[in-house]
């Protein structure tokens, strides 16, 4: 699992990319070598939680995953924190990465 933040700019895709990067650092996608499987057999499901799911570019997020066939799903989640005067916000996006193998 990972968390990505865009402190200024409210760029949900940027925050999503950072969430995927964070999730990848907390995992080991290279474990497939121990299973006698290849990266071509790896299916990677990325689930993104964002306060504004429609503002996420899923194709751009899919390119962040270095292995396998990647599927990105976006759902409601994350957190937006408005500045006191409402002129800016912190955008937080969560990512979960699920890996399975295709025979």
Which residues constitute the domain of residue 31? 2-101
Nearest by Cα to 32 from 67, 80, 73, 1: 67
pTM of the prediction? Answer: 0.89
Residue 85, pLDDT score: 93
Question: What whole-number percentage of the chain has pLDDT above 70?
Answer: 93
What's the CATH number where 80 sits?
3.30.1330.20
Per-residue pLDDT of 39-76, as tens digits, reads 788 899 999 999 999 999 999 999 999 888 999 999 99
Q: How many domains does the chain have?
A: 1
Residue 62: C-alpha distances to residues 5, 23, 36, 68 (Å)? 18, 13, 24, 10
């Amino acid at each position: 699992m990972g968390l990505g933040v865009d402190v200024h700019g409210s760029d949900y895709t940027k925050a999503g990319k950072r969430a995927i990067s964070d999730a990848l650092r907390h995992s080991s996608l290279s474990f497939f070598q121990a299973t006698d499987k290849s990266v071509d057999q790896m299916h990677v499901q990325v689930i993104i939680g964002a306060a504004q799911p429609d503002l996420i570019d899923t194709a751009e997020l899919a390119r962040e995953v270095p292995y396998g066939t990647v599927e990105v799903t976006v759902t409601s989640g994350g957190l937006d924190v408005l500045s006191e005067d409402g002129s800016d916000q912190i955008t937080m996006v969560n990512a979960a990465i699920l890996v399975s193998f295709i025979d």
